[in-house]
Amino acid sequence: MAAAAATASGALGALQASRARLVAAWCAQLGLGLGLPGSVTSTRAGPAMWAQGWAPAAGGAVLRRGYSSEVNAENELRVRYLEEENRGIVVLGINRAHAKNAISKNLIKMLSKAVDALKSDKKVRTIIVRSEVPGVFCAGADLKERVKMHSSEVGPFVSKIRAVVNDIANLPVPTIAAIDGLALGGGLELALACDVRVAASCAKMGLVETKLAIIPGAGGTQRLPRAIGMSLAKELIFSARVLDGQEAKAIGLISHVLEQNKEGDAAYRKALDLAREFLPQGPVAMRVAKLAINQGMEVDLVTGLAIEEACYAQTIPTKDRLEGLLAFKEKRPPRYKGE
């Protein structure tokens, strides 16, 4: 029995060591900037992207709500690179007022292009996902479009939604969902893919798919239990219950709840405050910390600690780490460059 135990222990140690080597190799492959490969590398869109409705703008400093008004109102997704003291913050604004921001083929296409560009842009420090339509975050799937689909089209389309939501979850920088209104079905799944969620007290959110004799298909059955626990997640999905902001805060679904303001953007303003808190921190450290947390939560503690060790090692040779130590010594704010 002792020999068997020793063999099992050795096998476990070998497995853990193997996992640690894989994590270290992955981190090394990502490089110190930890940028992920994407099909779009420019930090600003060219004319072709403008024509397709993917419209980055450099607003943020000129208007109180933090974005430029020089964007075609018909764009269903507005991508804004904020400037001045907000430089490094990018806002993804969903703008399908006629459909309560419901997820359509076109919106998924634009989200996919935007995420591909953002995940390889090392100047991006934090991403906020919000609605530009008052009273709604995202009402879920566009059922008017869905009802026109042949049954053979539904599965592949839901797979595409799931893939884009996963890409958002895997963005290398912190992401914040600002829920200022309705977030149902796929809308809540989109928010669950973000690292932090904030909501107005009047917001309504829930995974309501069972009412339509289907189940959440963009990660909801997996991310909701991880956020609030299995038993409560089952209860909410089985009942298709809709919660307000206060109820969502009480169960840990969101991090902050705000009384809505007259502009209807209380959650967005809180998200912007949080993003500003993130900005002064070391860029490499932020990316590696997210990686360590996300990967570590999916494994046992011993393997998670090995992941942390491998990720920590990525910060040691960086110029940012040396700058942080020097700034501490000189009692001044650090000047990080993400190197």
The residues assigned a catalytic role are: 141, 186, 189, 209
What strands, in cross-sheet order, belong to the sheet with 243-244?
136-138, 182-184, 204-206, 243-244
DSSP assignment letter at 299: S
- At a CB cut-off of 8 Å and minimum separation 6, what does 16 contact? 302, 303, 306
CA 335 to chain CA centroid, Å, is 26
How do 126-131 and 175-179 pair as beta strands?
A: parallel
- The Cβ of residue 185 has, within 10 Å, a number of other Cβ atoms equal to 27
- Let me know: does 274 contact 254? Beta carbons within 8 Å: no
- Separation in Å, CA 330 to CA 109, 316, 321, 326, 333: 48, 20, 14, 6, 9
